[in-house]
Amino acid sequence: MLELRSLTAGYDRRDPVVRDVSLTVAPGESVGLLGPSGCGKSTLARVAALLHRPDRGQVVVDGEPVHGWRHRAPRDRRTAFGVVFQQPRLSADPRLSLAQIVAEPLRATGRAADVPERVPELARTVGLGADLLGRRPHEVSDGQLQRACLARALVLRPRWLICDEMTAMLDASTTAALVAVVEEYRAASGAGLLAVGHDRVLLERWCERTVEWRELTGATGGSAGHPAAE
Ligand SMILES: Nc1ncnc2c1ncn2[C@@H]1O[C@H](COP(=O)(O)OP(=O)(O)OP(=O)(O)O)[C@@H](O)[C@H]1O
C-alpha cells in the first residue's frame, strides 16, 4: 500500500502548495489524479516518489512510514519507485546516449552486470530501435526520449510507478504506446500506479479509479497532520 497521509508540501513553509492532501494506492491498483494546472499535482507526485520532503504529513509504504527523502531515503525504498516526468529533456542528461540513460539506475545501484541484458530488453519493450540507442537526447524526438525515460523508470522493476503528465508532450499514437507499456508492466508485475494529469479522457480510460484534486484535501480530517519525519 502506498499511503499519502495529510500531506502538506511546497517551496515555502509559510505558503505551501499542497495542503492536507491524502490519497492511497493499493498494490496493483491504477489511480489517476486530475487537477488544474498549478494546483500542486507535480509537487505531490514528487513527494509520493520520495523526491521532495513534505512539511507535514506522512508517506507510508507497505505499512512503514518514510523517514528520508531523496538521497536520505534507503536505497531499497528509492528503487521501489519508478518515476516518469512530463518533460523528458529536463529529466535526461544531454551528454548520455539513450542506452546510457536507460542503464543509469542499474549502474547507480551496482547492477552494471545486468546492463547488456536489461537495456536491449527494455528498448524492445518501449519500442526503441537499436539505431536510436546510441543517439543522445538532442538527436531524437520528444516521444523517443520519453520512451527511454519510461524504460529507465522500469529498469529496476519498481513496485510503484509515478507518472507525472507522462504523455503531455506526446502525440496520440505515442501516448497510446506508452500507456500500453505501463499497463503491460503492471499486469506482469502487480505494481501500483499513480498517474497525474489534467486530461480527464486519458486518465479515465487508463486508470481503474480517477480522483479529483479537490476531493483529496482534508480527507483524513483536519489540517494538523503528522509532523514530517527528518
Ligand atoms: N521549484 C519550485 N519552486 C517554487 N515554486 C514552485 C516550484 N515548483 C512548483 N512551484 C509552484 O508550486 C505550485 C504548484 O506547482 P506544481 O508543478 O506542483 O503544479 P501542477 O498541478 O503539477 O501544475 P501543472 O499541471 O501546470 O504541471 C505552482 O504555483 C508553481 O509555480
pLDDT of the residue at 218: 65
pLDDT of the residue at 100: 98
Cell of 188: 506482469
- What is the residue-averaged pLDDT of the chain? 92
**Pocket (CB within 6 angstroms of ligand 1):** 11, 17, 35, 37-43, 198
Q: Check: CB of residue 90 under 8 Å from CB of residue 127.
A: no
Residue bearing the CA closest to ligand 1, atom 3: 11
Indicate whether 224 pLDDT > 70: no
pLDDT of the residue at 37: 87
Could you identify the atom of ligand 1 that is nearest to the CA of residue 39? 21
pLDDT cut 70: percent of the chain above it: 94
Our measurement of the distance from residue 58's CA atom to the centroid of its chain's CA atoms, rounded to an integer in Å, reads 18
pLDDT of the residue at 221: 39
Express each pLDDT in 153-197 by its tens digit: 999 999 999 999 999 989 999 999 999 999 999 999 999 999 999
Residue to mutate (ligand 1; options 17, 34, 214; most atoms within 8 A of CB): 17
Q: Across the chain, which distance is largest between two alpha carbons, in Å?
A: 54
Residue bearing the CA closest to ligand 1, atom 29: 38
Give the C-alpha separation, 6 to 224, whole Å: 8
Our measurement of the distance from residue 119's CA atom to the centroid of its chain's CA atoms, rounded to an integer in Å, reads 20
Secondary structure string (H, E, C) spanning 60-83: EECCEECCCCHHHCCHHHHCCEEE
Residue range 23-51: mean pLDDT, rounded: 94
Residue to mutate (ligand 1; options 8, 18, 42; most atoms within 8 A of CB): 42
Express each pLDDT in 43-84 by its tens digit: 999 999 999 999 999 999 999 999 988 888 888 888 999 999
Express each pLDDT in 122-145 by its tens digit: 999 999 999 999 999 999 999 999
